[in-house]
Each structure stands twice: as C-alpha cells, then as structure tokens.
Amino acid sequence: MYNKSNKAKIAVLASGRGSNFVAIQKAIDRGEIAARIAVLICDKPKAKVIEAAREFGIDVSIVDSAGLSNDEFDKKLVAELKGYAIDLILLAGFMKIVGRPLLENFPGKIINIHPSLLPSFKGLNAQRQAIEYGAKISGCTVHFIDEGVDTGPIILQSSVPVLDNDTEETLSARILEEEHRIYPEGVRLFVEKRLRIDGRRVIIEESSC
Ligand code: GAR
C-alpha cells in the first residue's frame, strides 16, 4: 500500500473522449491529489483519450476487447493492472461492464462517474433518459463499483437543473462541468483514505491534518 511519501498509483480505464481523465490529471498537476496516473487503459484503439494521455506522457495500454468473452477481457485487464501495482482504478467513460475478475482482485478500489443522480437513469444515455422522463433536476454521481450496473455505494453527487429548452447536448455539457469538479474531489478523498464504506453508505471522514 502507499503512504504519503509514496504516491498512490492510479489506472484510468476509458473508451472515448477523455475529458474526465484530463480533469483528474490537471488536478494532480495542480497538487490537489497526491497520486499519479500510472497508466491509461483503453479498449478502443482510436479513442481520443489516448492522444490526451500521450500528451501528458502517461503510459497507454490498449486492451482490445474484440473477439474476447467478457471474462477473458476482464482477466487481461487484471493482468495489466497487476503489472502496474495499482492502488485505485478509475472508470472514466469506460463503456464495458466490470465483471468478477476485476471486482475480486480490486475490492473497494474501483470508482466510476455516471452522468445522472443515481439511482435514477442508470445505464447508457443517462442525460437523454433524464430529458425524456421530464426530470427537473439531474446531475452526476461518483460511486464505488459493485457487481451491478451503476449500483455501487455513492461517494459524491452534484445536481444541475434540466431546462425546458435543453437538448441532450446542452444538458450533457452542464453535467460534464460538474463531473470535472466532483470526480477529482472523490479521487482526492480516496487517496487521503477518508472514504469508509458502511453498507450502502460512504462516510467521508474528517481530514486528520
Ligand atoms: C461522461 O459523461 C461520463 O459520466 C459518462 O461518459 C462520459 C465520458 O466522457 N459515463 C457513463 O455514461 C458511464 N455509464 P469523457 O470521456 O469526456 O470523460
């Protein structure tokens, strides 16, 4: 395990654009999180997030899921993550469901961001789901991963209004601003060992310094 002189090693798993990945790396660069992103693992060889990682000089590992069963893919991820002795895994727009091999090897160490106020609007296209449902408020959730889809214990949430003239794009943009604020904050709390899981609840402990 890491200590204060030995920064937490993070792996980010992402499939697409990578704006949350960049927000977290920028928070690290500003000295807000005592950690380093050791590797970006991406399942899409052409994803934009890969360029971003290379610009920051972060290792990139492409683990292509093509032709693999979910279990085979997960086992490849575990092998890659063990190679880096990872302390924390962040899913940032990672469009695969995390299965047993990952959960068993990294219990309580996998965090996700989801663009809705869970438990509302789980799964894909959460922002569109909120508009179509007629919700007046939506937002985003930073949560631990468990065996369900978007069901793990909630660390932080932030709300935004859903406006009458919102499109999926405008609502997504408003939520994304909040994602970029609360995801680095959640990572900081984990790295400072201030998150205690108590059943479904995540208790945020006071800072000791
Ligand atoms: C973000 O909005 C994130 O909340 C969402 O994908 C987007 C990734 O953007 N994740 C999910 O929907 C997971 N169910 P990014 O690649 O720019 O960080």
20 lines ligand 1 (CB under 6 A): yes
Name the nearest CA neighbour of 101 among 86, 123, 79.
79
What separation in Å is there between the alpha carbon of 209 and the centre of ligand 1?
33
pLDDT of 66 reads 87
pLDDT of 149 reads 94
pLDDT in tens, 115-173: 999 999 999 999 999 999 999 999 999 999 999 999 999 999 999 999 999 999 999 99
Beta carbons of 52 and 27 less than 8 angstroms apart: no
Helix (H) or strand (E) holding 189: helix 168-191
91 lines ligand 1 (CB under 6 A): no
Give the separation between CA 182 and CA 194, rounded to whole angstroms: 15
Which atom of ligand 1 is found nearest the CA of 18? 16
Instruction: Look at ligand 1, atom 14, and give the residue with the nearest C-alpha.
Output: 114
pLDDT in tens, 91-131: 999 989 889 999 999 999 999 999 999 999 999 999 999 99
Over residues 3-18, mean pLDDT: 86
139 lines ligand 1 (CB under 6 A): no
